[in-house]
Amino acid sequence: MIVEKLEELFALVSAQHLLSHAGPSRLNMATLLPLILIASVLAIMIDYGYMLYLHFKMPPGPLPLPIIGNTHLLPDSKPWIYFEQLSKQYQSPIITFWTGRRPTLWICDAWTANELLDKRAAIYASRPRMVVFSELGAGQSNLVNMYYGDRWRLHRKLTHMGVGLQQVRNYRGFQNDESKVVAFDLLREPTKYVSHFERYAISVVSIIGFGRRVAKYTDPIITEVIAVMQRAAELNVPGKSFPMLMESFPFLAKFPNWMAPWKQGLGKGQGRGRPFFYALAEEAAQNPNTDTCYAKKLFEEGPKHDLSRMEISSLSGNLFGAGSDTSSSTLVTFVLACCAFPDALPQAWEELDRVVGPHRSPTFEDEPNLPYVKAFVKEVLRWRSVAIIGGQPHAPIKDDYYKGWFIPRGTWVQGNVWAIHHHEREFPEPDRFNPDRYLKDSPDHRPFPGEKGYMTFGWGRRVCSGQGLAEQGTFITIARLLWGFRIEKALDEKGNEIPVDIFDFTNGLNMRPNPFDCRITPRSPEIRTTIDREGRRALQDLSRFDGIGGMAAALTLGLRGHRVVILEAAPKLMEVGAGIQVSPNMLRMFERWGVSDLIHAQDVALEHIHVRRWEDGSLLATMPVNKTFGQQTVIHRADLHNALIEKALALPNVELRVNSLVTGVEFSPASVTLANGSIVRGDIVIGADGIKSIIRGQLLEDPSLKAIATGDAAYRIMLPRSVMETDPELKALIDEPQATRWLGPGRHIIAYPVRDHQMYNVVLLHPDRQEVEESWTTKGSKQAMVDNYAGWEPRIRKLIDLVDDDEVLEWKLCLHRPLKTWIRGSVALIGDACHPMLPYVGQGAAQAVEDAAALGVLLSTISSRHDIPRALQVYEQSRKLRAETVQQSGSDNRITLHLPDGPDQVARDEQFRASTTGSNPDKWSDRETQRILWGWDAEKVALEAWIEASTEGKFNASL
């Protein structure tokens, strides 16, 4: 329009006037300004005449005023409610509202939205001019803002490579696991439900986009993503306040920033996202181990389509807009609905109990059999839709007519999702949460255009790209939370329920409830147990990290200032749910490394060791735990693993790379070759890759470990407290800070509580006749376990009865001959890669930690790379004999514990009865053996060996 050009000219002239100093300039301005003023008045009159012309041809709405249109009528917040009221006032499904001189059509009816935006999608697929969000932001580099055309089609195609409907089904696995983690987190911190939802939603998108899981709600990526998304939402709410008024008066955008207080904070809010998202994408693309992430695909496609940095940043960042903010806000709305409308819950519980039961949570495969739960999810999406004004405005690419009304080309066309979802024709009592609306046989069901029954994700060719991802994740998470929890209003100090306000929502483009308190509790003890079990298993499945020895080495080297890169072969690694004994020689290192507090938060300090007969449980001995060398504790393997992970990866000089399968190693200088052909170089390579070590085979030029079958195997089971505490005998076992050994012919059992007495770890060792199998665990048979322990005391049968058949894991136990060497050049082995341990003295993890400790202190003693081979020689000298001695003691102890019935067994039992604090046949609890094992200081011994070797020149020149 003419007025717009004159206004822009006026802005430029005004700026020139403020900057002018010379007299002639003042004279020129004195002559020019009246002319501009006269021209402006004429232009305003002409422009207003055109506004009135359009006003009477377009759908009804308030009469606009010159220049400002209807802007003075806009409310300060939640304008969608005002537009809904206007629609009712004018009795029209579509209204025209003028913001400045720009008309906006607000569609307040589902059928009209369907006709214009879906059926006429080819016309309404473009965007209007947007000053704040586009011209002052990413412009035509962002799919969200782009005018309809070839570049838009390209960006849409690239987006579908990440979150298209064909892709999202591939994401069900980790979406399912992440939703299990949400339920597990709510067991521990129910009041932090908003943070858990945000972590979940952002983690899912981060895995897809960047191959990076977000494990904690304190992760900085969450803070940054939320800040960027919230700022974008705030900038897109029609209202009176700046900077949105620049959409009404675009000439305001022409003023320099220092003259324009209405631009304050605008660049900061929008600009922070571009470098952030590009940096995430670039880092992921350059990582050779993130083979399937979306960012890598973008960088591969970039040269083909001449993608700019801005475009890559926008495509990456749009994933979060498409799948994170909407998903987390929807889950908060779900919690509000549960609190405000508890009468909607019993029918969901009945359906879930009937179809799913308490011993597993819902799966995607259950969806066809859960019609009410599906209806519940749809009602959440309708009742308080997140994208409350349907996202960014549409714009017709040509003039159009609807029911005789004129819709000019380029007009802002906005779907008022609030009004559409609260129209009483389709949704009687629209503010009442009522899932029955979506059951076709219900009297509350009404016709609605389309198959879904809601318009939460937009329309036509501009429908939200992440719709499939969001719907998929919303279903499985809401279904799991409905199944698992009672979600109720919070109570005040007098025990009265605190009301929740179903209208107290934020004012952004993406609407969510303002903070409110609630109660979230498991629906039953059985369900609590299932949530705990599945949550921990999901965490293990999502875990992508090295073992205990490798993480201990990364931690101690990282703490000493070395740069450490951890290469993990798998994209995810299933950790065995087993207990670990944290003996004093191990705990001593953890205390020095500052990780003991994390461990003590999860472990159980043992006070006694009970030794019992197999057939009747009679007590042979009760021995207090020897604390001469420090405390003996027990812990769940995953908890120890996670403590080391958390501490190590908190260091800026420790980096984890997943999907990094090592296929080759060079020894001097040290490097490894990965399966994808890339080479990783370093000053030293530490092989912590377990009993099937690739590095060991090449170091020794012999891939075999020369495993010899012991003839034994071990069942590992982990029982939750909830299944034991109903039986007084079993409750006593998990309550007491004690380990119990049951000894029998050819067999024995050791058991103890972990996780603050919330889990009971049981290891059942028994004869095994199968072929040697060097995998860590195999699937076991519950019936075989029952047969192996037939005739044992009643408590053992009770423990076995509590185990689900699919929970039985069996570990094949093998002897391993000592290796001729652990080192070569600048490469060293640690842990199971060089000395796999039997479980009979509880030192497997401890010896791996001792290896790491020795390496840490030795590599921090040398002053030159040339000293690395010398340091590794001392490492082997200080560790090899020690570890092999511990290996042998485990083999010897096996014979003692598994004596057959007869005089030798009787003599052994008499020794137990005679001993309480001194020598006894079990090397694990024998005081002299404990002195040798527990009194060892790996760092001190390694340092002394270095000093001795340096003084006497004891180094092998051949290395």
In 3-state terms, what secondary structure has residue 564?
strand
Mode of pairing for the β-strands spanning 685-687 and 827-829? parallel
Q: How confident is the model at residue 752 (pLDDT cuts 50, 70, 90)?
A: very high
Strand partners, 510: 387
pLDDT of 15: 47
| pLDDT tens sequence across 471-501 | 999 999 999 999 999 999 999 999 999 999 9
Alpha helices in 291-370 (DSSP H): 294-305, 309-323, 325-340, 345-355
Task: Say which residues have a Cβ less than 8 Å from residue 514's Cβ, sequence separation at least 6.
Answer: 504, 505, 506
pLDDT of 574: 36
pLDDT of 665: 92
Looking at the predicted structure, is the pLDDT value of residue 959 above 80?
A: no
| Residue 566 · residue 666 · CB < 8 Å | no
Q: How confident is the model at residue 569 (pLDDT cuts 50, 70, 90)?
A: low
Q: DSSP class of residue 457? A: T
Looking at the predicted structure, is the pLDDT value of residue 87 above 90?
A: yes
| pLDDT tens sequence across 802-845 | 987 656 777 888 878 889 999 999 999 999 889 988 888 889 99
Q: How confident is the model at residue 266 (pLDDT cuts 50, 70, 90)?
A: low
In 3-state terms, what secondary structure has residue 619?
strand
Q: Which residues are catalytic?
A: 716
Annotated binding site: 464
| Residue 435 · residue 334 · CB < 8 Å | no
Nearest to 501 by CA among 437, 431, 434, 454: 431
Alpha helices in 753-843 (DSSP H): 782-788, 794-801
Q: How confident is the model at residue 730 (pLDDT cuts 50, 70, 90)?
A: very high
Which of 8-12, 339-343, 859-863 is least confident?
A: 8-12
Q: How confident is the model at residue 589 (pLDDT cuts 50, 70, 90)?
A: very high
pLDDT of 871: 94
Spatial strand order of the sheet with 619-624 comes to: 619-624, 608-613, 738-744, 747-754, 759-767, 707-720, 809-816, 778-779
| pLDDT tens sequence across 153-164 | 999 999 888 888
Which of 70-84, 425-439, 798-812, 884-898 is least confident?
A: 798-812
Looking at the predicted structure, is the pLDDT value of residue 462 above 80?
A: yes
Percent of the chain with pLDDT over 90: 49
Q: How confident is the model at residue 118 (pLDDT cuts 50, 70, 90)?
A: very high
In 3-state terms, what secondary structure has residue 291?
coil
| Residue 624 · residue 917 · CB < 8 Å | yes
Q: How confident is the model at residue 21 (pLDDT cuts 50, 70, 90)?
A: very low
Looking at the predicted structure, is the pLDDT value of residue 272 above 60?
A: no
pTM of this structure: 0.62
- What integer best gives the mean pLDDT of the chain? 85
Q: How confident is the model at residue 76 (pLDDT cuts 50, 70, 90)?
A: confident
Q: Which domains does the chain have, with CATH numbers?
A: 134-489 (1.10.630.10), 543-952 (3.50.50.60)
Annotated binding site for heme: 464
Q: CA 956 → CA 93, 574, 641, 790, 824, distances in Å?
A: 89, 40, 36, 56, 11
Question: Mean pLDDT highest for which of 335-339, 529-533, 840-844, 907-911?
Answer: 335-339
Q: Summarize the confidence of residues 76-104 as an average pLDDT.
A: 93
